Amino acid sequence: MAATSKSTRSNGNSNPAVEDIAAHAARIREDLAALGEALAGAGAVQSGVARDAAETKIDELLKNGEKVVADLSNHYSRAEQQVSTKVRDNPLQALGVAVAAGFFAALLMRR
């Protein structure tokens, strides 16, 4: 069978239906190549969109994280100032609390 198809091609006696099928096959190959290029381009666009969205989210998270750190820093600064003020106002009471805390820590570490 393969020998006859080769002989018809070499003789120039080709069937119009075979030529039509070959033309359709060539068109389908071109369309598939164009589709592959389009999909590759769409994938690149999608990855760019995803990258932009991720960068936006990262920026938002960094800003929120910086705000949380600043808020906690302010909160602990105020707490430190309050403790310092209480210790200056009542030094004997602060000493008693420190001694009691040391005593309880020693009891827990002994066991």
Average pLDDT value for residue range 10-39: 79
Q: Which two tokens stand for residue 85?
A: 């003020």
Report pLDDT for 104. Answer: 94
Residue 40 banded pLDDT, cuts 50, 70, 90: confident
In terms of average pLDDT, the best of 2-11, 45-54, 71-80 is 71-80
Residues 86 and 94 sit within 8 Å (Cβ to Cβ): yes
Q: Which two tokens stand for residue 7?
A: 């002989």
Phi-psi category of residue 12: left, alpha or beta, with phi > 0 → left and psi -120 to 50 → alpha = left
Better pLDDT: 5 or 32? 32
Report pLDDT for 98. Answer: 92
Which residues make Cβ contacts (< 8 Å) with residue 87, sequence separation at least 6?
A: 94
pLDDT at 3 over 80: no
